[in-house]
Amino acid sequence: MKTSTITIEILAPINAVWKALSTTKGMKTWLDWLKVETDWQQNNPIVFTCFDEKGEILEYKGEKMIFRGTIKVKIENKEITFDYPEKLAGIVQERYTLNETDAGTTSVSFTQTCTDEKAESQQEDQKQLMEMLKTKLEEK
């Protein structure tokens, strides 16, 4: 297993960043290719389904990109953690932690734990996701 963390500053209030990470509508604003199914309650299931531009479910090494997990931790405006027992695409856990650095700026740390086979591309994937979040939230 390998764990890595990417931290970025987003010019947006903490509640806006939290909404983008912890609501179905919020996630859809920066990950328009992702379908989220959950009630957003801690210890309850969450399913992320990834789609391509044609609306087909993406595949990784012959497996459909449907991440079935659990919302392990949910502390409003602080942390949300997802566990993935199936380890699809080598992802074991994802954690977002937030810290308000001032009234309009939020520091977001994205920590991802993956199996060794996924570790090579892990940091680049994390960086791309965080840049997508930052771009979407700062354009408003």
**What is 16-81 written as a DSSP string?**
HHHHHHHSHHHHHHH-TTEEEEE---TTSEEEEEEB-TTSPBPEETTEE-EEEEEEEEEETTTEEE
Structure tokens at 133: 């979040």
Mean pLDDT for the chain? Answer: 92
Query: Please, are residues 86 and 108 in contact by the beta-carbon 8 Å criterion?
Result: no
Residue 118: the pLDDT is 62
Residue 88: the pLDDT is 84
Which of 72, 67, 136, 66 lies closest to 108 in space, CA to CA? Answer: 136
Contacts of residue 16, Cβ cutoff 8 Å, sequence gap at least 6: 106, 137, 140
Element of type H or E holding 124: helix 119-138
pLDDT category of residue 28 using cuts at 50, 70 and 90: very high
Q: pTM for the whole thing? A: 0.92
Query: Please, are residues 67 and 83 in contact by the beta-carbon 8 Å criterion?
Result: no
What's the number of domains the chain is made of?
1
Amino acid letter, residue 59: E
pLDDT tens digits, 46-57: 999 999 989 999
Question: Beta strands 79-83 and 66-75: pairing type?
Answer: antiparallel
27: containing domain: 2-138
Residue 139: the pLDDT is 86
Structure tokens at 137: 């939230």
- For position 123, which CATH number holds? 3.30.530.20
pLDDT tens digits, 82-133: 999 999 888 999 999 999 998 899 999 999 998 877 656 677 888 999 999 9
